[in-house]
Chains A and B, each alone.
Chain A
Amino acid sequence: MKERDFPSGDGLSGLRREFKGERGDLIPVLQRVQEIHGYLHPDSIRGVSRWLKVSENEIFGVATFYAQFRFHPPGRHHLRVCLGTACHVKGGEQILLTAQQRLNIDTGETTPDGEYDLDRVACLGCCALAPVVAVDDKVHAQMSVLKIQRILDGPKTA
């Protein structure tokens, strides 16, 4: 897997102005870091640790607790398969399996060409249109095994 170029230093320069640097800012800071770089690079964690005066150990403890944080570079497109209750009873599991087979990766991974990364999510809140998947920020409703194949084979939606 080719890593995206990570800026030299900890990549936090812009953030220092946004926050007061309190202990309670830890999660919002990590969220912003991930928004900017796509994931939490060990260098960023080191930088946040020095800035907020919280040990790296503890930051990893907090970050791994929450589903939102990634520790690997994401793909160009972010595929999230919803496995909320409504999606589950309408066959979401099979949609996920199909996506895994088609992309040949597991959840939390990125395809070797860096095109897609895959995640399962607990609920996208569009339960009435289940099963759903989201490609980047676009939610696709009433999925089927064939529809997800068509999305993954077709032109990439931005």
Chain B
Amino acid sequence: MGQRPLDERRASAALKWAELQSSPVPLVFIGAASCGLAAGAEEVQEAVEKYLKKNGVKGRIIQVGCIGPCYLEPLMDVQMPGQPRISYSNVRPSDVPLILESFFEKKEVAKSRLAGHFGEDAYDGVPRFFDLPMLKPQVRIVLRNCGIIDPDDLDHYLARDGYLGLEKALSMSWSDVLDIIKRSGLRGRGGAGFPTWRKWLTCRETPSDERYLICNADEGDPGAFMNRSLIEGDPHALLEGMLVAAYAIGASKGYIYIRAEYPLAIRRLKKALVDMREAGLLGKDILGSEFSFDIRIKEGAGAFVCGEETALIASIEGKRGMPRTRPPFPAVSGLHGKPTIINNVETLGTLPHIMRNGAEWYAGSGTETSKGTKTFSLVGKVRRTGLIEVPLGMTLREVVFDIGGGTLKPFKAVQTGGPSGGCLSEEFLDTPIDYEHLAAAGSIMGSGGLIVVDTDTCIVDTAKYFLGFTQKESCGKCVPCRVGTRHMVKLLEKICGGRGELADLDKLEKLGRTIKSGSLCGLGATAPNPALTSLKYFRSEFIAHVKDKKCPAVVCKSLVNYRVVAGKCTGCQRCVSVCPTGAITGPRSEPHNLDRTKCIKCRSCYEICRFDAIAGDAIIIES
């Protein structure tokens, strides 16, 4: 093959990347994705700038995306000339001068807040970052660039083999590309797990003058942020994937439907699109081929149901996001009546890697029916929270305990699939994570939210939460979903309020089955899952609420009381000062009184006693 249009740019990018790796100027990397910023990355960066200025030393600051272990945020990496990149975790602005002083003045690796280094071999007693217990069991394909490269720099992406997958795709026929994806076994990562190639083929074989590709980045599941992290950390992976998909299905126009709640991700995408256009990767005759494609960003206006394909299309057309009957499927008649493919961010983000490394390489991970890797957001009551990527088929136990480090209080359940999924109890911990096994357990794979709960979380309350969410988000088209979810929420509220009867549990199950069978789209068809699985696997907890009027997890407000432990209380009066209703009284240095008729159970006294008072834990909540 002769000179390719990107060759020159790629060579200079590789040089730029190599220079960065052996930079003569010290580098400071700041993890500045949304979660890092929330944890205080901006303040850390200011402290770094201040230190460099004050001491008149040279250093360059580079903002990178999220590398995954959110519990270590804010993360700051230091790379001195001739040393590997060394990462520091939970960095507060006050730690910055100490860490930098060690490197710049004492010329030694700072030891406090040390997490690990990014080199290959052992270095000066510092462990490898990717050997940390949370990272070691992971297989990073989709996330390989996240937290490593500057997401705003196309050269960084190119230097790490970016757009090689596209070049390979453009050198083949569309059917060869489709065949590679077929052999890779890739299934839709949005949750349903439909084979990607089959959807594409339907679209391609439908005669039309125009076809559309839509990237679904309306990550609506509460508790899931995989797509946000990928876009913030490696936007070009998604965009390259979109080009590959568009080439295979023959689309000339693409949309990214993204939540307006993700302003940083939108900013990164806009920058990336400008860079692509400049490099000839977008627009007419991409990379000198006859393939033309353009991408527009559409900001979602906040409606969970718009994750459903036909509702999403209605929303792009400027209508209420309400689903319609299928068939015709969008692959046949979608946006403006043309064949349309809607793929999830992660599905598209995987494509460049499959194209570059081959179908067999990708199919090498995973199980017989579920190939490859999947990203999950591991959150809730687990010790190590964050974004992870694991081969499919790994067990829930490995994810929760090996990667997540287990829970502080005893483990109770893991919730998969968000509001459409289910709560799985301890007996399912050895279930392999793949589409079939999770469905058999009554849950779904979903887009990748894994919410771990411990004995401090009330299952009834959690079910009420999810039903309350879907009830609010129900578009109102199908009566069983619109009215049924409302009744399920009412019943669950009754149970949490201590007014439940045993017959209510049967009513919940009956309603749930009706809603599932009588709703048009995925929202209604899965909305009862959290309640139904909870009833199945945690029935005793429901019965405790109904019969004993007790909440074993001490969560349901109507069933708990606050009490001052007289033997522990030193009478420091901190709780008296924060109580909004004057329920706590008592003279200084004597155990206080708590008047239950005035107490609104707002937790203020409990928290202040726990963290700020002299005695600590002298106020308890009990059921």
Contact = CB atoms under 8 A, between A and B. Distances in A.
A127 B261 CA distance: 14
A129 B70 contact: yes
A24 B317 contact: yes
B320 interface: yes
Interface string A39-74: 000000000000000100000011001111100000
Nearest to A83: B222
Contacts of B263: 137
A89 to B, nearest CB: 5
Nearest to B37: A139
Contacts of A28: 298-299
Which of A23, A86, A90, A144 gathers most chain B CB within 10 Å?
Answer: A86
Nearest to A59: B318
Contact of B223 (A86, A94, A98, A129): A86
A126 B469 contact: no
B616 interface: no
Interface residues of B, number: 64
A21 to B, nearest CB: 12
A144 B415 CA distance: 24
A125 B222 CA distance: 8
Contact of B39 (A22, A90, A129, A149): A129
A27 B315 contact: yes
Interface in B298-318: 298-299, 301-304, 315-318
A130 B302 contact: no
A146 B223 contact: no
A125 B261 contact: yes
A132 interface: yes
B379 A130 contact: yes
Contacts of B451: 85-86, 89
Interface in B371-391: 377-381, 385-387
Contact of A101 (B39, B319, B475, B602): B602
Contacts of A144: 607
B602 A97 contact: yes
B608 A68 contact: no
A123 interface: yes
Interface of A: 22-28, 30-31, 54, 61-62, 65-69, 83-91, 94, 97-98, 101, 121-130, 132, 137, 139-141, 144-146, 149
The 10 closest A-B pairs by CB, nearest first: A128-B70, A85-B223, A84-B222, A67-B302, A66-B301, A26-B318, A139-B38, A128-B385, A125-B225, A123-B222
Interface of B: 34-35, 37-40, 70-71, 73, 219-225, 228, 260-263, 298-299, 301-304, 315-322, 377-381, 385-387, 415, 418, 449, 451, 453, 457, 462, 465-466, 469, 473, 475, 578, 580, 602-604, 607-608, 611-612
16 contacts: A23-B317, A26-B318, A27-B298, A27-B318, A65-B322, A68-B302, A83-B222, A85-B380, A85-B466, A88-B465, A90-B380, A90-B381, A128-B35, A128-B386, A132-B38, A146-B607
